[in-house]
A and B are shown apart, each in its own frame.
Chain A
Amino acid sequence: MAVAAGSQPLGLGATLGGAGRVLQRNLLVYRRTWRGSLFGSFLTPMLYLSAMGIGLSRLMANGGTTVLGGVSYLDFLGPGIMASSCMQTASFESTYPILGKIMWRKNYEAILATPIEVHHLLIGELAWIGVRMASMATVFMVVLTLFGIPRSPLALLAIPAAVLTGLAFAAPIIAFSATRINDSGFAALFRFVINPLFLFSGTFFPVSRLPGAVGWVAAATPLYHGVALVRGAVLDSMPASWPLHLAYLLVFFGTTAYLAYRLLRRRLVK
Protein backbone atom coordinates (compact mmCIF):
# COMPACT_ATOMS: atom_id res chain seq x y z
CA MET A 1 0.00 0.00 0.00
CA ALA A 2 1.01 3.60 -0.49
CA VAL A 3 2.56 5.76 2.20
CA ALA A 4 0.01 6.72 4.85
CA ALA A 5 -1.45 10.12 4.14
CA GLY A 6 -1.38 11.19 7.76
CA SER A 7 2.28 10.47 8.17
CA GLN A 8 3.59 13.95 8.86
CA PRO A 9 4.98 14.15 12.38
CA LEU A 10 2.63 15.67 14.93
CA GLY A 11 4.79 18.38 16.40
CA LEU A 12 4.28 22.04 17.16
CA GLY A 13 0.70 23.24 17.00
CA ALA A 14 -0.57 19.66 17.19
CA THR A 15 -2.57 20.42 20.32
CA LEU A 16 -4.44 23.28 18.72
CA GLY A 17 -4.74 21.29 15.50
CA GLY A 18 -6.23 18.26 17.22
CA ALA A 19 -8.60 20.35 19.33
CA GLY A 20 -9.53 22.24 16.17
CA ARG A 21 -10.67 18.99 14.53
CA VAL A 22 -12.92 18.22 17.48
CA LEU A 23 -14.36 21.74 17.27
CA GLN A 24 -14.75 21.36 13.51
CA ARG A 25 -16.80 18.20 13.99
CA ASN A 26 -19.23 20.01 16.29
CA LEU A 27 -19.48 22.94 13.87
CA LEU A 28 -20.27 20.49 11.07
CA VAL A 29 -23.21 19.17 13.08
CA TYR A 30 -24.23 22.70 14.13
CA ARG A 31 -24.41 23.76 10.50
CA ARG A 32 -27.68 21.85 10.31
CA THR A 33 -29.21 23.11 13.55
CA TRP A 34 -27.88 26.64 14.10
CA ARG A 35 -31.03 28.45 12.99
CA GLY A 36 -33.25 26.80 15.58
CA SER A 37 -30.56 27.13 18.18
CA LEU A 38 -30.02 30.85 17.61
CA PHE A 39 -33.75 31.44 17.47
CA GLY A 40 -33.96 29.80 20.91
CA SER A 41 -31.20 32.11 22.13
CA PHE A 42 -33.25 35.03 20.86
CA LEU A 43 -36.58 33.87 22.26
CA THR A 44 -35.40 33.21 25.81
CA PRO A 45 -34.31 36.77 26.66
CA MET A 46 -37.26 38.22 24.74
CA LEU A 47 -39.69 36.27 26.91
CA TYR A 48 -37.94 36.96 30.19
CA LEU A 49 -37.45 40.63 29.54
CA SER A 50 -41.01 41.12 28.29
CA ALA A 51 -42.71 39.22 31.08
CA MET A 52 -40.55 40.03 34.06
CA GLY A 53 -38.63 43.11 33.05
CA ILE A 54 -41.60 45.01 31.76
CA GLY A 55 -44.45 43.36 33.68
CA LEU A 56 -42.70 43.13 37.00
CA SER A 57 -41.13 46.57 36.70
CA ARG A 58 -44.57 48.13 36.74
CA LEU A 59 -45.31 46.55 40.11
CA MET A 60 -42.19 48.10 41.52
CA ALA A 61 -41.49 51.67 42.41
CA ASN A 62 -41.15 53.81 39.35
CA GLY A 63 -37.67 54.58 38.17
CA GLY A 64 -34.51 53.36 39.80
CA THR A 65 -34.29 51.88 43.23
CA THR A 66 -31.31 52.18 45.48
CA VAL A 67 -31.21 48.42 46.15
CA LEU A 68 -30.73 47.73 42.44
CA GLY A 69 -27.95 50.31 42.23
CA GLY A 70 -30.11 53.07 40.87
CA VAL A 71 -31.31 51.35 37.73
CA SER A 72 -34.73 50.07 36.60
CA TYR A 73 -35.60 46.43 37.16
CA LEU A 74 -35.50 45.82 33.39
CA ASP A 75 -31.92 47.12 33.28
CA PHE A 76 -31.00 45.06 36.30
CA LEU A 77 -32.55 41.87 34.96
CA GLY A 78 -31.33 41.97 31.33
CA PRO A 79 -27.61 41.32 31.92
CA GLY A 80 -28.44 38.89 34.76
CA ILE A 81 -30.51 36.76 32.39
CA MET A 82 -27.69 36.94 29.85
CA ALA A 83 -25.14 35.46 32.27
CA SER A 84 -27.45 32.85 33.72
CA SER A 85 -28.72 31.67 30.32
CA CYS A 86 -25.11 31.07 29.31
CA MET A 87 -24.67 29.07 32.48
CA GLN A 88 -27.71 26.94 31.68
CA THR A 89 -26.82 26.25 28.05
CA ALA A 90 -23.17 25.54 28.84
CA SER A 91 -24.24 23.21 31.64
CA PHE A 92 -26.61 21.31 29.40
CA GLU A 93 -24.01 21.01 26.63
CA SER A 94 -21.65 19.46 29.19
CA THR A 95 -24.04 16.74 30.33
CA TYR A 96 -26.01 14.59 27.85
CA PRO A 97 -23.96 15.43 24.72
CA ILE A 98 -20.68 14.64 26.50
CA LEU A 99 -21.87 11.45 28.18
CA GLY A 100 -23.35 10.38 24.83
CA LYS A 101 -19.97 10.74 23.18
CA ILE A 102 -18.34 8.83 26.04
CA MET A 103 -20.69 5.88 26.33
CA TRP A 104 -23.82 5.84 24.15
CA ARG A 105 -22.48 6.68 20.74
CA LYS A 106 -18.84 6.14 21.63
CA ASN A 107 -17.64 9.02 19.44
CA TYR A 108 -14.61 9.50 21.66
CA GLU A 109 -13.59 5.87 21.28
CA ALA A 110 -13.65 6.35 17.50
CA ILE A 111 -11.70 9.61 17.66
CA LEU A 112 -9.10 8.27 20.10
CA ALA A 113 -8.24 5.53 17.58
CA THR A 114 -6.73 8.34 15.48
CA PRO A 115 -3.78 10.56 16.49
CA ILE A 116 -6.22 12.77 18.46
CA GLU A 117 -5.65 12.53 22.23
CA VAL A 118 -7.76 13.14 25.32
CA HIS A 119 -6.55 16.72 25.88
CA HIS A 120 -7.51 17.54 22.28
CA LEU A 121 -11.00 16.22 22.97
CA LEU A 122 -11.41 18.34 26.07
CA ILE A 123 -9.98 21.53 24.59
CA GLY A 124 -12.06 21.00 21.44
CA GLU A 125 -15.27 20.53 23.39
CA LEU A 126 -14.57 23.57 25.59
CA ALA A 127 -13.76 25.61 22.49
CA TRP A 128 -17.05 24.47 20.99
CA ILE A 129 -18.98 25.52 24.09
CA GLY A 130 -17.09 28.82 23.96
CA VAL A 131 -18.25 29.34 20.38
CA ARG A 132 -21.82 28.52 21.39
CA MET A 133 -21.61 30.98 24.27
CA ALA A 134 -20.20 33.70 22.04
CA SER A 135 -22.99 33.34 19.49
CA MET A 136 -25.60 33.21 22.23
CA ALA A 137 -24.19 36.23 24.03
CA THR A 138 -24.12 38.17 20.76
CA VAL A 139 -27.80 37.47 20.17
CA PHE A 140 -28.48 38.52 23.76
CA MET A 141 -26.63 41.75 23.19
CA VAL A 142 -28.91 42.48 20.23
CA VAL A 143 -31.98 41.84 22.38
CA LEU A 144 -30.68 43.98 25.23
CA THR A 145 -30.08 46.75 22.69
CA LEU A 146 -33.65 46.38 21.42
CA PHE A 147 -34.77 47.04 24.99
CA GLY A 148 -32.40 49.99 25.22
CA ILE A 149 -30.44 48.54 28.13
CA PRO A 150 -26.70 48.89 27.23
CA ARG A 151 -25.20 52.21 28.29
CA SER A 152 -22.13 52.39 26.03
CA PRO A 153 -20.09 50.37 23.51
CA LEU A 154 -18.20 49.03 26.51
CA ALA A 155 -21.22 46.76 26.92
CA LEU A 156 -19.60 44.52 24.29
CA LEU A 157 -17.20 43.37 27.01
CA ALA A 158 -20.19 41.50 28.41
CA ILE A 159 -19.78 38.98 25.57
CA PRO A 160 -16.39 37.59 26.69
CA ALA A 161 -17.57 37.79 30.28
CA ALA A 162 -20.63 35.66 29.43
CA VAL A 163 -18.42 33.17 27.53
CA LEU A 164 -16.16 32.83 30.55
CA THR A 165 -19.19 32.36 32.81
CA GLY A 166 -20.42 29.52 30.59
CA LEU A 167 -16.99 27.88 30.52
CA ALA A 168 -16.72 28.08 34.31
CA PHE A 169 -19.73 25.77 34.38
CA ALA A 170 -18.81 23.61 31.38
CA ALA A 171 -15.47 22.47 32.81
CA PRO A 172 -16.68 21.14 36.19
CA ILE A 173 -19.77 19.60 34.62
CA ILE A 174 -17.71 17.79 31.96
CA ALA A 175 -15.66 16.48 34.88
CA PHE A 176 -18.88 15.32 36.53
CA SER A 177 -20.14 13.71 33.30
CA ALA A 178 -16.86 11.82 32.93
CA THR A 179 -17.70 9.96 36.13
CA ARG A 180 -21.28 9.03 35.21
CA ILE A 181 -22.37 5.57 34.09
CA ASN A 182 -25.93 6.73 33.32
CA ASP A 183 -27.79 10.01 33.04
CA SER A 184 -29.67 9.87 36.35
CA GLY A 185 -27.32 12.37 38.01
CA PHE A 186 -28.09 15.09 35.48
CA ALA A 187 -31.66 15.74 36.60
CA ALA A 188 -30.37 16.18 40.16
CA LEU A 189 -27.59 18.47 38.95
CA PHE A 190 -30.09 20.81 37.32
CA ARG A 191 -32.63 20.58 40.11
CA PHE A 192 -30.25 21.06 43.03
CA VAL A 193 -27.41 23.09 41.58
CA ILE A 194 -28.13 24.92 38.34
CA ASN A 195 -31.71 26.05 39.02
CA PRO A 196 -31.02 27.28 42.57
CA LEU A 197 -28.01 29.21 41.23
CA PHE A 198 -30.21 30.69 38.55
CA LEU A 199 -32.63 31.89 41.22
CA PHE A 200 -30.23 32.99 43.97
CA SER A 201 -26.99 34.20 42.37
CA GLY A 202 -27.88 37.76 41.61
CA THR A 203 -29.89 37.32 38.44
CA PHE A 204 -33.23 38.47 39.82
CA PHE A 205 -32.18 40.41 42.90
CA PRO A 206 -28.89 41.48 44.48
CA VAL A 207 -27.20 38.80 46.54
CA SER A 208 -26.90 41.38 49.31
CA ARG A 209 -30.62 40.82 49.95
CA LEU A 210 -29.95 37.23 51.04
CA PRO A 211 -29.48 36.46 54.75
CA GLY A 212 -25.81 36.19 55.83
CA ALA A 213 -24.67 32.61 55.24
CA VAL A 214 -26.82 32.07 52.17
CA GLY A 215 -25.38 35.20 50.68
CA TRP A 216 -21.86 33.89 51.23
CA VAL A 217 -22.73 30.61 49.52
CA ALA A 218 -24.18 32.46 46.56
CA ALA A 219 -21.08 34.65 46.38
CA ALA A 220 -18.86 31.55 46.20
CA THR A 221 -20.46 30.30 42.97
CA PRO A 222 -19.14 31.26 39.54
CA LEU A 223 -22.52 32.60 38.43
CA TYR A 224 -22.39 35.39 40.99
CA HIS A 225 -19.04 36.58 39.61
CA GLY A 226 -20.22 36.16 36.02
CA VAL A 227 -23.34 38.20 36.66
CA ALA A 228 -21.26 40.92 38.32
CA LEU A 229 -18.98 41.24 35.28
CA VAL A 230 -21.74 41.04 32.65
CA ARG A 231 -23.93 43.52 34.50
CA GLY A 232 -21.02 45.85 35.10
CA ALA A 233 -20.17 45.88 31.40
CA VAL A 234 -23.72 46.28 30.11
CA LEU A 235 -24.68 49.04 32.55
CA ASP A 236 -21.23 50.67 32.39
CA SER A 237 -21.00 50.36 36.16
CA MET A 238 -18.11 47.93 36.52
CA PRO A 239 -17.51 47.40 40.24
CA ALA A 240 -14.04 48.20 41.55
CA SER A 241 -13.79 44.52 42.47
CA TRP A 242 -13.87 43.38 38.82
CA PRO A 243 -10.33 41.95 38.84
CA LEU A 244 -11.37 39.67 41.68
CA HIS A 245 -14.44 38.46 39.81
CA LEU A 246 -12.38 37.85 36.70
CA ALA A 247 -9.62 36.08 38.62
CA TYR A 248 -12.16 33.92 40.41
CA LEU A 249 -13.73 32.79 37.13
CA LEU A 250 -10.36 32.12 35.48
CA VAL A 251 -8.99 30.13 38.40
CA PHE A 252 -12.23 28.20 38.81
CA PHE A 253 -12.28 27.39 35.10
CA GLY A 254 -8.61 26.41 34.96
CA THR A 255 -8.79 24.16 38.00
CA THR A 256 -11.95 22.37 36.97
CA ALA A 257 -10.74 22.01 33.37
CA TYR A 258 -7.67 20.19 34.66
CA LEU A 259 -9.92 18.00 36.81
CA ALA A 260 -12.08 17.29 33.74
CA TYR A 261 -8.94 16.25 31.85
CA ARG A 262 -7.90 13.82 34.59
CA LEU A 263 -11.34 12.28 34.88
CA LEU A 264 -11.92 12.02 31.12
CA ARG A 265 -8.56 10.36 30.76
CA ARG A 266 -9.32 7.89 33.51
CA ARG A 267 -12.64 7.10 31.85
CA LEU A 268 -11.46 6.81 28.26
CA VAL A 269 -7.99 5.25 28.53
CA LYS A 270 -8.12 1.91 30.30
Chain B
Amino acid sequence: MPPTDEILVHARGLTKRFDAFTAVNAVDFDVRTAEAFGFLGPNGAGKTSTMKMIACSSPVTEGELTVIGMDPRRQAAQIKAHLGVVPQEDNLDAELTVMENLLMYARYFDMPMSVARPRAAELLEFMQLSGRADDQVEPLSGGMKRRLTIARALINDPELIILDEPTTGLDPQARHLLWERLYRLKQRGATLIITTHYMDEAEQLCDRLVVMDKAEIVAAGTPRELIERYATREVLELRIPDDARGGLDGRLDGLAERIEELPDRFLLYADDGEHALEGVHSREIPIESALVRRATLEDVFLRLTGRSLVE
Protein backbone atom coordinates (compact mmCIF):
# COMPACT_ATOMS: atom_id res chain seq x y z
CA MET B 1 0.00 0.00 0.00
CA PRO B 2 1.65 3.27 -1.06
CA PRO B 3 1.65 6.29 1.24
CA THR B 4 -1.45 8.45 0.91
CA ASP B 5 -2.08 12.17 1.24
CA GLU B 6 -4.15 11.70 4.38
CA ILE B 7 -2.37 13.27 7.35
CA LEU B 8 -2.28 11.10 10.47
CA VAL B 9 0.00 13.21 12.66
CA HIS B 10 0.18 16.97 12.31
CA ALA B 11 2.60 19.13 14.29
CA ARG B 12 3.23 22.89 14.12
CA GLY B 13 5.52 24.70 16.51
CA LEU B 14 5.54 21.60 18.70
CA THR B 15 7.61 22.29 21.81
CA LYS B 16 8.62 20.33 24.89
CA ARG B 17 10.34 21.99 27.81
CA PHE B 18 11.50 20.47 31.10
CA ASP B 19 11.89 23.47 33.41
CA ALA B 20 14.54 25.59 31.71
CA PHE B 21 15.66 22.85 29.29
CA THR B 22 14.10 22.80 25.83
CA ALA B 23 14.03 19.23 24.52
CA VAL B 24 11.99 19.97 21.39
CA ASN B 25 11.96 23.47 19.96
CA ALA B 26 9.02 24.44 17.75
CA VAL B 27 9.16 21.62 15.22
CA ASP B 28 6.78 21.23 12.25
CA PHE B 29 6.05 17.95 10.50
CA ASP B 30 3.23 15.88 9.00
CA VAL B 31 3.06 12.09 8.94
CA ARG B 32 0.83 10.61 6.23
CA THR B 33 -1.21 7.45 6.47
CA ALA B 34 0.62 4.29 5.37
CA GLU B 35 4.09 5.80 5.24
CA ALA B 36 7.16 5.06 7.32
CA PHE B 37 8.31 8.35 8.78
CA GLY B 38 11.70 8.68 10.45
CA PHE B 39 13.28 10.92 13.05
CA LEU B 40 17.02 10.70 12.52
CA GLY B 41 19.48 12.30 14.87
CA PRO B 42 22.08 11.72 17.56
CA ASN B 43 21.21 10.88 21.15
CA GLY B 44 19.73 13.88 22.92
CA ALA B 45 18.45 15.52 19.73
CA GLY B 46 14.84 15.47 20.96
CA LYS B 47 13.59 12.43 19.05
CA THR B 48 12.29 10.52 22.06
CA SER B 49 10.60 13.60 23.54
CA THR B 50 8.82 14.14 20.22
CA MET B 51 7.78 10.46 20.14
CA LYS B 52 6.40 10.64 23.67
CA MET B 53 4.26 13.63 22.83
CA ILE B 54 2.84 11.81 19.80
CA ALA B 55 2.25 8.73 21.97
CA CYS B 56 0.33 10.97 24.45
CA SER B 57 2.56 9.84 27.31
CA SER B 58 4.20 13.25 27.68
CA PRO B 59 2.17 16.47 27.75
CA VAL B 60 2.78 19.02 24.98
CA THR B 61 4.33 22.20 26.41
CA GLU B 62 3.42 24.41 23.49
CA GLY B 63 2.31 24.28 19.88
CA GLU B 64 -0.16 22.34 17.83
CA LEU B 65 -0.36 18.54 17.68
CA THR B 66 -3.05 16.33 16.17
CA VAL B 67 -2.80 12.54 16.25
CA ILE B 68 -5.32 10.52 14.21
CA GLY B 69 -7.50 13.59 14.05
CA MET B 70 -7.61 13.99 17.83
CA ASP B 71 -6.06 16.31 20.40
CA PRO B 72 -3.62 14.63 22.84
CA ARG B 73 -4.42 17.26 25.45
CA ARG B 74 -8.04 16.16 25.71
CA GLN B 75 -8.34 12.74 24.07
CA ALA B 76 -5.22 10.88 25.18
CA ALA B 77 -6.99 7.63 26.07
CA GLN B 78 -8.96 7.57 22.79
CA ILE B 79 -5.79 8.19 20.79
CA LYS B 80 -3.83 5.55 22.70
CA ALA B 81 -6.50 2.98 21.86
CA HIS B 82 -5.29 3.25 18.25
CA LEU B 83 -1.54 3.36 18.86
CA GLY B 84 1.14 0.72 19.13
CA VAL B 85 4.16 1.92 21.09
CA VAL B 86 7.57 0.25 21.10
CA PRO B 87 9.73 2.03 23.68
CA GLN B 88 13.48 2.42 23.53
CA GLU B 89 14.02 0.01 26.39
CA ASP B 90 11.94 -3.15 26.52
CA ASN B 91 9.41 -2.97 29.34
CA LEU B 92 7.89 -6.42 29.09
CA ASP B 93 6.20 -7.88 32.16
CA ALA B 94 8.91 -10.16 33.54
CA GLU B 95 6.45 -11.87 35.88
CA LEU B 96 4.29 -13.13 33.02
CA THR B 97 4.94 -15.60 30.21
CA VAL B 98 5.35 -14.58 26.57
CA MET B 99 1.71 -15.36 25.78
CA GLU B 100 0.43 -13.75 28.99
CA ASN B 101 2.31 -10.57 28.08
CA LEU B 102 0.23 -10.31 24.91
CA LEU B 103 -3.07 -11.33 26.49
CA MET B 104 -2.69 -9.01 29.46
CA TYR B 105 -1.80 -6.14 27.14
CA ALA B 106 -4.94 -6.90 25.14
CA ARG B 107 -6.92 -6.55 28.37
CA TYR B 108 -5.44 -3.08 28.94
CA PHE B 109 -6.98 -2.22 25.58
CA ASP B 110 -10.23 -3.75 26.81
CA MET B 111 -10.16 -6.39 24.08
CA PRO B 112 -12.26 -9.48 24.76
CA MET B 113 -10.28 -12.71 25.16
CA SER B 114 -12.09 -14.28 22.22
CA VAL B 115 -10.47 -11.64 19.98
CA ALA B 116 -7.17 -11.45 21.83
CA ARG B 117 -6.27 -15.15 21.83
CA PRO B 118 -6.22 -15.77 18.06
CA ARG B 119 -4.61 -12.37 17.52
CA ALA B 120 -1.83 -13.12 20.02
CA ALA B 121 -1.14 -16.50 18.42
CA GLU B 122 -1.00 -14.88 14.98
CA LEU B 123 1.42 -12.19 16.20
CA LEU B 124 3.74 -14.72 17.84
CA GLU B 125 3.77 -16.56 14.52
CA PHE B 126 4.53 -13.34 12.62
CA MET B 127 7.37 -12.47 15.01
CA GLN B 128 8.71 -16.03 14.96
CA LEU B 129 8.08 -16.62 18.66
CA SER B 130 5.42 -19.35 18.47
CA GLY B 131 7.67 -21.92 20.12
CA ARG B 132 8.20 -19.65 23.15
CA ALA B 133 4.57 -18.84 23.97
CA ASP B 134 4.66 -20.43 27.43
CA ASP B 135 8.19 -19.41 28.36
CA GLN B 136 9.08 -16.72 30.85
CA VAL B 137 10.35 -13.49 29.32
CA GLU B 138 13.71 -13.30 31.08
CA PRO B 139 15.63 -16.08 29.29
CA LEU B 140 14.74 -14.66 25.85
CA SER B 141 17.52 -13.10 23.77
CA GLY B 142 17.60 -9.35 23.15
CA GLY B 143 16.25 -9.80 19.63
CA MET B 144 13.39 -12.01 20.83
CA LYS B 145 12.42 -9.55 23.56
CA ARG B 146 12.36 -6.79 20.98
CA ARG B 147 10.16 -8.86 18.69
CA LEU B 148 7.84 -9.63 21.59
CA THR B 149 7.67 -5.93 22.46
CA ILE B 150 6.69 -5.20 18.86
CA ALA B 151 4.15 -8.05 18.84
CA ARG B 152 2.69 -6.58 22.03
CA ALA B 153 2.45 -3.14 20.39
CA LEU B 154 0.46 -4.71 17.54
CA ILE B 155 -2.07 -6.52 19.74
CA ASN B 156 -4.75 -3.81 19.33
CA ASP B 157 -4.25 -3.65 15.54
CA PRO B 158 -3.01 -0.05 15.80
CA GLU B 159 -3.47 2.57 13.11
CA LEU B 160 -0.13 4.10 14.00
CA ILE B 161 2.96 2.26 15.24
CA ILE B 162 5.60 4.28 17.08
CA LEU B 163 9.04 2.69 17.37
CA ASP B 164 11.73 4.41 19.42
CA GLU B 165 15.14 3.10 18.28
CA PRO B 166 13.81 -0.34 17.41
CA THR B 167 17.16 -2.02 16.78
CA THR B 168 19.53 -0.27 19.18
CA GLY B 169 21.65 -2.83 20.98
CA LEU B 170 20.81 -5.76 18.68
CA ASP B 171 23.29 -7.83 16.71
CA PRO B 172 23.26 -7.53 12.88
CA GLN B 173 21.23 -10.70 12.33
CA ALA B 174 18.55 -9.67 14.80
CA ARG B 175 18.42 -6.20 13.22
CA HIS B 176 17.91 -7.57 9.73
CA LEU B 177 15.14 -9.89 10.86
CA LEU B 178 13.44 -6.94 12.54
CA TRP B 179 13.79 -4.69 9.50
CA GLU B 180 12.28 -7.38 7.35
CA ARG B 181 9.26 -7.71 9.68
CA LEU B 182 8.80 -3.94 9.87
CA TYR B 183 8.98 -3.76 6.09
CA ARG B 184 6.22 -6.36 5.87
CA LEU B 185 4.09 -4.36 8.28
CA LYS B 186 4.55 -1.34 6.06
CA GLN B 187 3.55 -3.33 2.98
CA ARG B 188 0.34 -4.29 4.75
CA GLY B 189 -0.44 -0.59 5.05
CA ALA B 190 0.68 0.23 8.60
CA THR B 191 1.83 3.75 9.38
CA LEU B 192 5.18 3.70 11.16
CA ILE B 193 7.04 6.43 13.02
CA ILE B 194 10.61 5.40 13.71
CA THR B 195 13.38 7.16 15.58
CA THR B 196 16.90 6.04 15.00
CA HIS B 197 20.48 7.16 15.10
CA TYR B 198 21.41 4.54 12.51
CA MET B 199 21.44 6.02 9.03
CA ASP B 200 21.23 2.59 7.41
CA GLU B 201 18.05 1.91 9.37
CA ALA B 202 16.53 5.19 8.22
CA GLU B 203 17.50 4.48 4.60
CA GLN B 204 16.13 0.94 4.75
CA LEU B 205 12.80 1.71 6.34
CA CYS B 206 11.76 5.32 5.93
CA ASP B 207 9.78 6.80 3.06
CA ARG B 208 10.38 10.25 4.47
CA LEU B 209 12.35 11.54 7.39
CA VAL B 210 13.39 14.58 9.30
CA VAL B 211 16.88 15.11 10.64
CA MET B 212 16.89 16.41 14.22
CA ASP B 213 19.74 18.09 16.00
CA LYS B 214 19.71 20.04 19.27
CA ALA B 215 15.92 20.02 19.65
CA GLU B 216 15.27 21.25 16.09
CA ILE B 217 14.51 19.80 12.69
CA VAL B 218 17.41 20.71 10.43
CA ALA B 219 16.24 19.02 7.21
CA ALA B 220 13.29 17.03 5.86
CA GLY B 221 12.64 14.88 2.80
CA THR B 222 13.01 11.40 1.36
CA PRO B 223 16.38 9.73 1.99
CA ARG B 224 17.19 10.19 -1.72
CA GLU B 225 16.25 13.87 -1.75
CA LEU B 226 18.32 14.57 1.34
CA ILE B 227 21.37 12.88 -0.11
CA GLU B 228 20.98 14.72 -3.40
CA ARG B 229 20.49 18.03 -1.67
CA TYR B 230 23.21 17.81 0.97
CA ALA B 231 25.77 15.38 -0.43
CA THR B 232 27.19 14.24 -3.77
CA ARG B 233 26.48 10.90 -5.43
CA GLU B 234 29.73 9.35 -4.21
CA VAL B 235 32.27 9.84 -1.47
CA LEU B 236 35.97 9.11 -1.53
CA GLU B 237 37.31 8.25 1.92
CA LEU B 238 41.05 8.74 2.30
CA ARG B 239 43.29 7.74 5.15
CA ILE B 240 46.50 9.70 5.11
CA PRO B 241 49.51 8.83 7.29
CA ASP B 242 49.81 11.19 10.27
CA ASP B 243 53.27 12.43 9.28
CA ALA B 244 52.01 13.38 5.81
CA ARG B 245 48.92 15.20 7.07
CA GLY B 246 50.78 18.38 7.96
CA GLY B 247 52.36 18.66 4.52
CA LEU B 248 49.10 18.36 2.61
CA ASP B 249 48.72 22.09 2.54
CA GLY B 250 45.79 22.40 0.17
CA ARG B 251 47.01 19.67 -2.20
CA LEU B 252 43.53 18.05 -2.11
CA ASP B 253 41.87 21.28 -3.25
CA GLY B 254 39.85 21.06 -6.41
CA LEU B 255 39.65 17.27 -6.40
CA ALA B 256 36.10 17.26 -5.05
CA GLU B 257 33.08 19.51 -4.62
CA ARG B 258 33.62 19.54 -0.87
CA ILE B 259 36.16 18.09 1.54
CA GLU B 260 35.52 17.18 5.19
CA GLU B 261 38.46 16.57 7.46
CA LEU B 262 37.71 14.08 10.25
CA PRO B 263 40.14 13.05 13.00
CA ASP B 264 40.96 9.77 11.25
CA ARG B 265 40.22 10.42 7.56
CA PHE B 266 39.27 12.83 4.81
CA LEU B 267 35.92 12.68 3.02
CA LEU B 268 35.97 13.94 -0.57
CA TYR B 269 32.47 14.57 -1.91
CA ALA B 270 32.38 14.02 -5.70
CA ASP B 271 29.86 12.61 -8.15
CA ASP B 272 32.60 10.38 -9.53
CA GLY B 273 34.70 8.99 -6.69
CA GLU B 274 37.05 6.99 -8.89
CA HIS B 275 37.89 10.11 -10.87
CA ALA B 276 38.75 11.94 -7.66
CA LEU B 277 40.94 9.02 -6.58
CA GLU B 278 42.82 9.21 -9.91
CA GLY B 279 43.47 12.87 -9.13
CA VAL B 280 44.85 11.92 -5.71
CA HIS B 281 47.19 9.39 -7.36
CA SER B 282 48.34 11.79 -10.10
CA ARG B 283 49.17 14.44 -7.47
CA GLU B 284 51.23 11.77 -5.67
CA ILE B 285 49.50 12.43 -2.35
CA PRO B 286 50.65 9.73 0.10
CA ILE B 287 47.69 7.64 1.28
CA GLU B 288 47.27 4.68 3.60
CA SER B 289 43.99 3.53 2.10
CA ALA B 290 41.20 4.78 -0.14
CA LEU B 291 37.54 3.79 -0.43
CA VAL B 292 34.89 4.95 -2.88
CA ARG B 293 31.30 4.56 -1.65
CA ARG B 294 27.80 5.90 -2.21
CA ALA B 295 26.87 8.93 -0.15
CA THR B 296 24.56 8.12 2.79
CA LEU B 297 22.43 9.95 5.32
CA GLU B 298 25.47 9.94 7.58
CA ASP B 299 27.07 12.35 5.11
CA VAL B 300 23.94 14.45 5.12
CA PHE B 301 24.07 14.65 8.88
CA LEU B 302 27.76 15.51 8.86
CA ARG B 303 27.09 18.26 6.37
CA LEU B 304 24.21 19.70 8.35
CA THR B 305 25.73 19.58 11.81
CA GLY B 306 29.47 19.14 11.35
CA ARG B 307 29.28 16.05 13.54
CA SER B 308 28.87 12.28 13.13
CA LEU B 309 25.65 10.53 14.11
CA VAL B 310 27.21 7.68 16.04
CA GLU B 311 30.57 8.02 17.67
Contact = CB atoms under 8 A, between A and B. Distances in A.
B57 A113 contact: yes
Interface in A45-82: none
A10 B77 contact: yes
Interface stretch (B83-91, B139-147, B246-254, B280-288): B83-91
Interface in B93-125: 93-96, 100, 104-111, 115-116, 119
Contacts of A116: 108
Interface string A197-218: 0000000000000000000000
Interface in A99-134: 105-107, 109-117
B21 to A, nearest CB: 12
Interface string A171-184: 00000000000000
Contact of B94 (A1, A8, A105): A105
A29 interface: yes
Nearest to A105: B94
Contacts of A25: 93, 96, 104, 107
B82 A4 contact: yes
A17 B110 contact: yes
Nearest to A14: B77
B32 to A, nearest CB: 15
A113 B76 CA distance: 10
Nearest to A33: B95
Contacts of A110: 87, 91-93, 105, 152
Nearest to A25: B104
B87 to A, nearest CB: 7
Contact of A24 (B107, B119, B152, B190): B107
A1 B110 contact: no
A109 B109 contact: no
A111 B108 contact: yes
B151 to A, nearest CB: 13
Contacts of A112: 57
Interface of A is mostly: loop
Interface residues of A, number: 32
A2 B104 CA distance: 21
Contacts of B59: 269
Interface stretch (B38-46, B156-164, B266-274): B156-164
Nearest to B16: A270
Interface string A1-37: 1111111111000100110010011001100000000
A115 B96 contact: no
A29 B89 CA distance: 22
Contacts of A24: 104, 107
A115 B81 contact: yes
Contact of A269 (B57, B91, B188): B57
Contact of B91 (A17, A28, A106, A117): A106
For A8, A28, A29, which residue has the most chain B Cβ atoms within 10 angstroms?
A28
23 contacts: A4-B159, A5-B109, A5-B157, A6-B156, A9-B78, A10-B78, A17-B110, A25-B104, A29-B95, A29-B96, A105-B93, A106-B91, A107-B91, A109-B57, A110-B92, A110-B93, A113-B85, A114-B109, A115-B78, A115-B109, A116-B108, A117-B76, A270-B18
Given A25-B96, A110-B152, A117-B77, 10 more contacts: A1-B157, A5-B115, A5-B116, A6-B156, A21-B104, A109-B57, A110-B105, A113-B83, A114-B105, A115-B80
